Structure 1
Amino acid sequence: MADATEDAPKEPGIVSKIIKLIVRLVIAAILLGVGFAGGWFYFANPMSPAQNALSLLAPEPETEGEAAEGEGEGEGDGLPERIPRELPETAMFETSYYQMEEPLTTNLMGSRRYMQVGIGMSTQYGEQVMTNVETHKVAIRSDILNIMGDFSEETVSDAAGRDELALAIKNVVNARLEGLEGFGGVEDVFFTSFVLQ
């Protein structure tokens, strides 16, 4: 029976368990110390990476007198002084815009498809032109629908065709305003939406 107890595996002693625990604690303390040191080095740096790069590129003043002169000129932070550009003093005209409330929809010439566009207009002749457009919007909508129906699907499918359509709309709107008010004044036509279906 004595032989049976000698063959049984022996449990590790308390001393070996304590040694393993101390080794693990020492390794954990080292890892925490390395993590803390790395974080401190990364986050405690008072200079941003951009300032770090600029400090490497910009030469330091050699004497205290030069540093004092630089501070007096607004360069105390090591960055060059910023000077704003002056705006040209040319006369600028105010642009007035008008957008039709509802999109216009019409069939395309020679096609079963239709086109729906939202239209905006602009002028630099003054607010009166856009007031005239608002006053005569029923007649202008009718004229625009008539001119839109003269365009084919192939024509308006690319940017050049859409520019051609915008020019035709501008011309028909100005013709209507000249007939009713004696002056057109619409300078640009914009498509705020453009759908072919």
Structure 2
Amino acid sequence: MSDKTDTPAAPPKKGKSKLLILLGLPIVLLGTGGGAAVYGMQAGWFSVKPEEAESNEPRLLPKSEEKRAAAKAEGGEGHGAEGGGEGSHGKPTPKGEGGDKYASSYYPLEKEFTSNLQDSVHFIQVGIAVSTPYDGRVLENIKTHEIAIRSQVLMALGETSEDEVFTAEGKRHIQERLAKAINGVLKEKEGFGGVSNVYFTNFIVQ
């Protein structure tokens, strides 16, 4: 018979328990904090503000930036750099009042367009220019896809009737149709239109 007797294990000292808790707590907090950070990133809690994120889309060009560019190009203040000028009715407007909020950039398409009128023996020959309130990327897109744009413009002109070419209202409808056609090409090719208006630089009916 063995003289050895089973002795109960000594209970852990309270000091060690507290030490384990103190060491384990930061690890648990770190783990939960890291998980929360990952979740927050996936949920978009820490997303970058839209104005801080770099966008591939053209941005609206404020008139103030246009004026600075004009002044720099001319080596001085440039004409109209301080605002003012004439309003839409030809009356002088106080400085800083009236006008568009954003700058307008213009681009004339080099060659004129000739198209038969719908259900008519007449045809029209027009020269057009486009405007955009966005930065230079829109005009670069127009230059890049000018062949596709010219094709779409000719198709839109082919839908023009005699009634439209002889009235101011009809011509405005043509302008709107051409702007829509050009933006359609740009959206298809680049995902963004940006053309606000189409202007006639020449308009002949024969």
The two structures have a TM-score, normalised by structure 1, of 0.54
Partner residue, 2:151: 142
- The residue type equivalent to 1:104 in the other structure is F
% of aligned pairs identical? 39
Alignment partners' CA distance in 1, 2:129 and 2:175: 10
The gaps in structure 2 that reach 5 residues or longer are 1-92
**1:88 maps to what in 2?**
96
Q: Which of 166, 180, 195 is equivalent to 1:186?
A: 195
Alpha-carbon distance in 2 for matches of 1:153, 1:168? 15
Larger Rg computed on CA atoms:
1
Of residues 168, 175, 180, the one that matches 2:177 is: 168
Q: CA deviation at 1:154?
A: 1.7
Greater percentage in helix: 1
CA contact 1:95–1:126 (8 Å) conserved in 2: no
Alignment partners' CA distance in 2, 1:122 and 1:99: 9
Shift of 1:92: 4.2
Superposition map of 1:13-162 within 5 A = 87-88=95-96, 92-162=101-171
Amino acid corresponding to residue 195 of structure 1 in structure 2: I
Q: Distance in 2 between matches of 1:141 and 1:88?
A: 38
Distance 1:181 1:112, change over 3 A: same
**Gapped regions of structure 1 (runs ≥ 5):** 1-84
What value does the CA root-mean-square deviation take over the aligned residues? 1.9
Provide the rounded CA distance (Å) in 1 between the counterparts of 2:158 and 2:97: 45
SS of 1:190's equivalent in the other structure is strand
What is the SS of the residue equivalent to 1:162?
helix
Shift of 1:87: 2.3
**Which amino acid letter does the alignment assign opposite residue 95 of structure 1?**
S
Report Cα offsets for 1:131-150 as digits up to 9, x if no partner: 10111000000000001001
Matched residue of 1:105: which SS?
strand
Aligned-residue offset at 1:88: 2.3
Give the TM-score taking structure 2 as reference length: 0.52
How many residues get paired?
A: 113
- C-alpha separation in 2, matches of 1:170 and 1:102: 17
